[in-house]
Amino acid sequence: MNVEEPWCIKDRKLDSELKKLDIWLDFKRGSRFPCPECGKPNCSAYDTREKVLRHINYFQYPTYLHIRTPRVMCSNCGILQIRVPWARGLSHFTLRMEAMILELAQKMPVLQVANLLGEEDKKLWRVIHHYVDEARSKEDFSDVFVIGVDETSRKKGHNYITLAVDFEDSKVIFVCEGKDSSTITSLSEDLQNHNGDPSNIKSVCCDMSPSFISGISTELPKAEITFDKFHVMQAMNEAVDEVRKEEQKKIRN
Ligand SMILES: [Zn+2]
């Protein structure tokens, strides 16, 4: 757990009935802390509050850290709660627990992760949104030149979403709701918000959707459109089937 000065473990209790482990953390009397806002060192504790964080399981038991967390008096910023080394800001979870949530959320639905960990899914979504937003804000699309665009639905035939993939990086770079031409407008805006340029896009692979074709010709003016093989073959197979059915009818008559 990396408990370092001025912190110390004050108490621990393994409750086999409630199936949980509680650990109480405290700081040494007279300790001084940097201001969480301006970084001014050696601020003295003003008062304390208990902060409870869910940690990863030990011995298969959910573990909770009860941290006696000081507020410090900073001459520049006033009275502020310090940042504890095990968590970020106002999170209910420790950093190690958040890392586990992110790891599991890549492998199973979030509701399933919530059931597995015995937590509300909305708390997990808050963690996921925080790190996804942070990672996305750092994305740089200045060297995106060749993309693929396709739509999919969450339920069969309902709730369409459109995805764009950077083919050179094999990476999804954009997702939004819908499948009309406005999705390409949103994609173009998102490229610009991340250091990209819609006129850098030289080639787009998509299905034969008139909405995509019209959106691409307006929003990505330098892009050549390639219809992907899967959709071309699908359209061809449908056409061949039609002809076959017609011929069968003629033979029967
Ligand atoms: Zn300060």
pLDDT of 154: 77
Centre of ligand 1 from the C-alpha of residue 39, in Å:
6
Centre of ligand 1 from the C-alpha of residue 31, in Å:
17
If you search the block for the tokens 């004050």, which residue do you land on?
A: 10
Centre of ligand 1 from the C-alpha of residue 68, in Å:
20
Centre of ligand 1 from the C-alpha of residue 242, in Å:
74
Which one, of 34, 59, 53, 54, lies nearest residue 45 by Cα? Answer: 34
Mapped onto helix, strand or coil, the DSSP state of residue 195 is coil
pLDDT of 234: 86
DSSP state at residue 83: P
What is the DSSP pairing of strand 203-206 with strand 171-177? unpaired
Cα separation, 243 vs 237, whole angstroms = 10
b (16+ CB within 10 A) / e for 144-164: bbbbbbbbeeeeeeeebebbb
pLDDT of the chain, 253 residues: tens digit per residue: 788 889 999 999 999 899 999 999 999 999 999 999 999 999 999 999 999 999 999 888 999 999 999 999 999 999 999 999 999 988 999 999 999 999 999 999 999 999 999 999 999 999 999 999 999 999 999 999 999 999 998 777 678 999 999 999 999 999 999 999 999 999 999 999 999 999 999 999 998 889 999 999 999 999 999 988 887 888 889 989 999 999 888 888 7
Centre of ligand 1 from the C-alpha of residue 69, in Å:
17
Q: State how far Cα 50 lies from the chain centre.
A: 29
Centre of ligand 1 from the C-alpha of residue 72, in Å:
9
Cα separation, 230 vs 185, whole angstroms = 25
Centre of ligand 1 from the C-alpha of residue 15, in Å:
40
DSSP bridge pairs for 162: 151, 176
The helix or strand, by DSSP H or E, that contains position 250, with its residue range, turns out to be helix 229-252
